[in-house]
Amino acid sequence: MARLMNTAVEELKIKVCEANLKLAASGLIFHTFGNVSGADPQADLMAIKPSGVPYEKLKPEHIVVLAISSGEVIDGTLRPSSDTPTHLEIYRAFHGIGGVTHTHSLYATAWAQACKDIPAFGTTHADYCNGPILCTRELDDREIKNDYEVHTGKVIVERFKGLNPLDYPGVLVASHGPFTWGKDAMDSVHNAEILEYLARLASETLKISPGLNQIKQALLEKHFTRKHGPGAYYGQPKNK
Amino acid sequence: MARLMNTAVEELKIKVCEANLKLAASGLIFHTFGNVSGADPQADLMAIKPSGVPYEKLKPEHIVVLAISSGEVIDGTLRPSSDTPTHLEIYRAFHGIGGVTHTHSLYATAWAQACKDIPAFGTTHADYCNGPILCTRELDDREIKNDYEVHTGKVIVERFKGLNPLDYPGVLVASHGPFTWGKDAMDSVHNAEILEYLARLASETLKISPGLNQIKQALLEKHFTRKHGPGAYYGQPKNK
Amino acid sequence: MARLMNTAVEELKIKVCEANLKLAASGLIFHTFGNVSGADPQADLMAIKPSGVPYEKLKPEHIVVLAISSGEVIDGTLRPSSDTPTHLEIYRAFHGIGGVTHTHSLYATAWAQACKDIPAFGTTHADYCNGPILCTRELDDREIKNDYEVHTGKVIVERFKGLNPLDYPGVLVASHGPFTWGKDAMDSVHNAEILEYLARLASETLKISPGLNQIKQALLEKHFTRKHGPGAYYGQPKNK
Amino acid sequence: MARLMNTAVEELKIKVCEANLKLAASGLIFHTFGNVSGADPQADLMAIKPSGVPYEKLKPEHIVVLAISSGEVIDGTLRPSSDTPTHLEIYRAFHGIGGVTHTHSLYATAWAQACKDIPAFGTTHADYCNGPILCTRELDDREIKNDYEVHTGKVIVERFKGLNPLDYPGVLVASHGPFTWGKDAMDSVHNAEILEYLARLASETLKISPGLNQIKQALLEKHFTRKHGPGAYYGQPKNK
């Protein structure tokens, strides 16, 4: 049992290190900004980048592993990312998620700073998100002063009440920046790239047509269901 | 006869694969977005990228070949691009076209999302297009729900009623993105690059002068006819 | 005498080819857009890029040499750039200029399309230009229809009536794009890069402060004379 | 004593040369724009880039060393940067600073030209600056005409009256551009990169939400103190 757990921990550290290096190579981050975590929810494990370590020096042995349920460090000697409590809240509340990425990427952060949802202005957006990319409410002063990173996670979870987070690539935290998720760490990095492109595309669209409305509901659903769910016909059949 | 057909099919697959790789290298696409087709209208053949296949793995044997007239697959084992019916409608209606490219490139897509024609704000535009770059009308709900990709092709064709599509590098599909065309697959990729530059240039111009009008008709015609048609005097004589 | 002339011609072709390749490497041009000429006014010679030849294939033997006074081709078998008459008008009117560059670079062209002077919004601009970067008037229909490229040169010359063109890195032709000049072909390419940066900087400034005025006259003069003229104290003394 | 001084001078020249080369590689500068200095305040030494020397040719022996107190050249044969008196004013007034960088980087300069403070629109900003990035007042005509570079330093110092300059990565000089500082020359280059990113992020935010206010004071303080001061918990403990 201990050996099995050990293997799961080591595999997760390797995958999370790779995903952090992929993020660093993506151009979405600047200096030490940003972090990626990966989870093995059945094993109650989350692995995350250590705080403030330059990406060019990052190795699997630097990755910190924690128990999702308790938040206790299981493996690693460095201090985990200061955003760790936010990642934990997301894994605890959203089922089916195996990776979370946080960046301060330019356009997604600009929308987050504007405290605005990114409207679905076209089919590129609809291919990835069944509605606007949502922005959380702002935290109140009490939430900022005590357990700030926990409350950041809680306003994310609150925003998806009654919604399926898997229909979205991620979320914008008001006055802060994007968190994205996916089936594993690498998939959450991919969604960080997608979200940045959608944010930039929406900004450029708004400059041409400042009062534009979201696309028709029928078009939104058509494109989302073309790629997602039982009727999807984009890409190759899965058994190919 | 069968052998001749075979050769035409294989040549088209190679050219269409090359044009898709050129598109991937152009910076206009993001992940698996976008697709290029090429046609041999005399032989009733169209070849197109398979759906959702990463560009870095694309080889001629992956390209799918269809009959333009019937839309039936003639060669290839993968599922063709989900936009295939749109490409077929364009080849069926527009004569003299041997290639079509579809992208979600940033600035052209922003104009498409804004549902606006790109005005001819200067001579750079006039060098390539004898008037605004046109945007289609939006599809209605019935057109979206049934045979969506066919109707996307039909609104493109409808937009050019009474116009010569060869006077334009391509079109913007409302709420969606650009389709460009050319004498072959590679030429349609070139026009995708041109259209993106014209779209970006128009956006930057609009930011400086929000209410700007199209350039004078005389200047538009001067630049277009300097490069196109019997009086052209740009470039070297064809027999050089 | 003939041999001396021959040497002058060959040297000019090499320098103009190098300057065109530098322009191609600068990122300011797109496909075959743009051209650079160089002149030896004492020898009545101007050398210019041939029309529509891809930069990657350009060699000194492709460069076309003309007499400034008559516009007749002296050397070269290819057709010169279609903008040749514009370059000739500039050399005929402006003394002390040995190179001219024409581009459709993004931000400078956006200002030209907006038909607006670029105001001197800061000291970066003042380091290179003793006032706004000027935009010509629009050509009238008659000027467009007959000898279009000659009239393009004439509106440039008209714009500098009473001004010293050497106090400016170049000009914007309304609805068209920038022409820059310098002491030789390479210097005019350098000024094309400077002008593009100043144009972009002005655009970004305008987005933050839409109604901004030009900087104080004293600051404009201070920075221009810090780098230019008898009181200049920027850089190293010339005899170093 | 003379030998010790000699070593301090040589070390400073190497560090300042490295920091200037780092700045050149950062993409923040254009041609010969920009300069970095480093200081050893205990030894009364400041080393700075020579004026108008191309970065690709810069070597430690070109760096000019001056006495901070008197401004006299102690070492070096080239003319120091024309902005030297501004750097000297900063070192004289702000204690704890060992490096100063001046650039004309695009977005920071656009804000400086707009003569506006950069508001703290989000936590990315708050991670680096405990309030807006400040812009100086404009110089008056007398200050421009006499000892211009000294007065540029003086309006910077004036702007921080009653504030701690170490709580800021730098300043915007109105109608001019940014000066940043840090614990040494390299750190001031790092802050030039940070400032440019914050300026760009603020510009993009403003385009989405033109009338946006600064973030809540509680959030500003939370993020700044998370990274700076006695309660900081970002990064690894210093003894690691």
Predicted pLDDT of residue C239: 47
Do residue B234 and residue C106 have CB atoms under 8 angstroms apart? no
| Residue in C123, C197, C209 nearest the CB of D176 | C123
Whether D201 and chain A come into contact, CB under 8 Å, resolves to yes
Note down the domain range covering D83. Answer: 2-225
Mean pLDDT to the nearest integer, A128-135: 95
Tokens of D215: 């973030």
pLDDT, tens digit (0-9, with 9 covering 90-100), for D120-138: 999 999 999 989 999 999 9
pLDDT, tens digit (0-9, with 9 covering 90-100), for B87-139: 999 999 999 999 999 999 999 999 999 999 999 999 999 999 989 999 999 99
What CATH number is given to the structural domain containing A158?
3.40.225.10
Whether D106 and chain A come into contact, CB under 8 Å, resolves to no
Residue A189 lies in a domain: yes
Handedness of CA D195, D196, D202, D205 (dihedral sign): negative
Query: How far A122 CA lies from chain B's nearest CA (Å)?
Result: 5
pLDDT, tens digit (0-9, with 9 covering 90-100), for C162-202: 999 999 999 999 999 999 999 999 999 999 999 999 999 99
Residue A5 scores a pLDDT above 90: no
pLDDT, tens digit (0-9, with 9 covering 90-100), for B18-56: 999 999 999 898 777 899 999 999 999 999 999 988 898
| Residue in D82, D107, D175 nearest the CB of C219 | D175
Whether A106 and chain D come into contact, CB under 8 Å, resolves to yes
Displacement of CA D199 from its chain's centroid (Å): 14
- Residue C127 in contact with residue C226, Cβ under 8 Å? yes
Beta-bridge partner residues of D171: D179
Instruction: Specify the 3-state DSSP secondary structure of C129.
Output: coil
B224 vs C30, higher pLDDT? B224
Q: Alpha helices of chain D — where are they, by DSSP H?
A: 2-25, 84-93, 106-113, 123-126, 141-145, 148-159, 185-208, 217-227
Instruction: Specify the 3-state DSSP secondary structure of C200.
Output: helix
Mean pLDDT to the nearest integer, A55-59: 91
Q: Which residues in chain C touch residue B218, judged by CB atoms under 8 angstroms apart?
A: 141, 144-145
Q: How confident is the model at residue A29 (pLDDT cuts 50, 70, 90)?
A: confident
CA distance D86 to D90: 7
Predicted pLDDT of residue A48: 98
D-interface mutation test, from A113, A151, A196, A203, most D Cβ less than 10 A away: A113
CA distance C30 to B49: 27
Residue D29 scores a pLDDT above 90: no
Q: Which residues in chain C touch residue B191, judged by CB atoms under 8 angstroms apart?
A: none
Rounded to the nearest 10 degrees, the angle between the axes of helix B185-208 and helix C106-113 is 60
CA distance A20 to A188: 10
Closest to D131 (Cα-Cα) out of D164, D174, D179: D164
Residue A6 scores a pLDDT above 90: no
Residue D31 scores a pLDDT above 80: no
| Residue in C79, C110, C175 nearest the CB of B204 | C110
Rounded to the nearest 10 degrees, the angle between the axes of helix C185-208 and helix D106-113 is 60
Residue D233 lies in a domain: no
- Residue D114 in contact with residue D202, Cβ under 8 Å? no
Residue D235 lies in a domain: no
Mean pLDDT to the nearest integer, C22-29: 92
Does A127 participate in catalysis according to the annotation? Answer: yes
The average confidence (pLDDT) of chain B is: 93
Instruction: Specify the 3-state DSSP secondary structure of D163.
Output: coil
Percentage of chain C surpassing pLDDT 90?
83
Mean pLDDT to the nearest integer, B57-68: 96
The number of domains in chain D is 1
Do residue B122 and residue C82 have CB atoms under 8 angstroms apart? no
Beta-strand relationship, D45-48 and D64-67: antiparallel
- Rounded to two decimals, the ipTM of the complex is 0.93
The reported pTM is: 0.95
Do residue B204 and residue C53 have CB atoms under 8 angstroms apart? no
Query: How far C239 CA lies from chain B's nearest CA (Å)?
Result: 44
Whether A203 and chain D come into contact, CB under 8 Å, resolves to yes
Kindly state the DSSP code that residue C153 receives in the 8-state scheme: H
pLDDT, tens digit (0-9, with 9 covering 90-100), for D44-87: 999 999 998 889 899 999 999 999 999 999 999 999 999 999 99
| Residue in A197, A205, A235 nearest the CB of B113 | A205
In this structure, which amino acid lies at residue D213? N
- Residue B175 in contact with residue B135, Cβ under 8 Å? no
CA distance D119 to D105: 18
Percentage of chain C surpassing pLDDT 70?
97
A155 Cβ neighbours under 8 A, 6+ residues apart: A136, A137, A139, A143, A173, A174
Between D5-14, D63-72, D155-164, the lowest mean confidence (pLDDT) is in D5-14
- Residue D100 in contact with residue D177, Cβ under 8 Å? no
A240 vs C142, higher pLDDT? C142
CA distance D52 to D35: 10
pLDDT, tens digit (0-9, with 9 covering 90-100), for D88-102: 999 999 999 999 999
Q: Which residues in chain C touch residue B222, judged by CB atoms under 8 angstroms apart?
A: 144-145, 148
Closest to D98 (Cα-Cα) out of D11, D158, D228, D196: D11
In this structure, which amino acid lies at residue B81? S
CA distance B29 to B34: 6
Residue D230 lies in a domain: no
Residue B238 lies in a domain: no
- Residue D231 in contact with residue A148, Cβ under 8 Å? no
Residue B76 lies in a domain: yes
Do residue A122 and residue B141 have CB atoms under 8 angstroms apart? no
Do residue C204 and residue D31 have CB atoms under 8 angstroms apart? no
Whether D26 and chain C come into contact, CB under 8 Å, resolves to no
Handedness of CA A164, A166, A170, A173 (dihedral sign): positive
CA distance A235 to D231: 51
Query: How far A27 CA lies from chain B's nearest CA (Å)?
Result: 14
Residue C233 lies in a domain: no
DSSP C26-40: TT---TT--EEEEEE
Q: How many residues does chain C have?
A: 240
Percentage of chain B surpassing pLDDT 90?
83
Tokens of C77: 């078998």
Predicted pLDDT of residue A189: 97
Predicted pLDDT of residue D240: 39
What is Dmax (Cα atoms) for chain A? 60
Q: How confident is the model at residue D238 (pLDDT cuts 50, 70, 90)?
A: low
Strand ranges of the sheet holding B170-173, from the earlier edge strand across to the other edge? B73-75, B64-67, B45-48, B35-40, B99-102, B177-182, B170-173
| Residue in D51, D139, D176 nearest the CB of C234 | D51
Q: Which helix (H) or strand (E) holds B171?
A: strand B170-173
Whether C219 and chain D come into contact, CB under 8 Å, resolves to yes
Predicted pLDDT of residue A136: 98
Query: How far B175 CA lies from chain C's nearest CA (Å)?
Result: 25
- Residue C68 in contact with residue C91, Cβ under 8 Å? yes
Predicted pLDDT of residue A239: 47
- Residue D114 in contact with residue D176, Cβ under 8 Å? no
Predicted pLDDT of residue C29: 86
B215 vs D4, higher pLDDT? B215
pLDDT, tens digit (0-9, with 9 covering 90-100), for C92-104: 999 999 999 999 9
Label residue C98 left, alpha or beta by phi (over 0 means left) and psi (-120 to 50 means alpha).
alpha
CA distance A202 to D230: 41
CA distance C152 to C169: 18
Tokens of B163: 């116009």
Query: How far A96 CA lies from chain D's nearest CA (Å)?
Result: 29
C33 vs D181, higher pLDDT? D181
DSSP B38-66: EEEGGGTEEEEPBTT--GGG--GGG-EEE
Do residue A212 and residue B113 have CB atoms under 8 angstroms apart? yes
Mean pLDDT to the nearest integer, D26-45: 90
Mean pLDDT to the nearest integer, A35-54: 95
DSSP A135-165: BPPPPPHHHHHSSHHHHHHHHHHHHTTTS-G
Instruction: Specify the 3-state DSSP secondary structure of C50.
Output: strand
Residue D150 scores a pLDDT above 50: yes
Residue D39 scores a pLDDT above 80: yes
Instruction: Report angle CA D130, D97, D129 to the nearest 5 degrees.
Output: 10
DSSP B4-42: HHHHHHHHHHHHHHHHHHHHHHTT---TT--EEEEEEGG
Percentage of chain A surpassing pLDDT 70?
97
Q: Which of B55, B127, B148, B167 is catalytic?
A: B127
Residue D72 burial (C-beta neighbours within 10 Å; 0-12, 13-18, 19+): exposed
In this structure, which amino acid lies at residue D95? H
Residue D237 lies in a domain: no
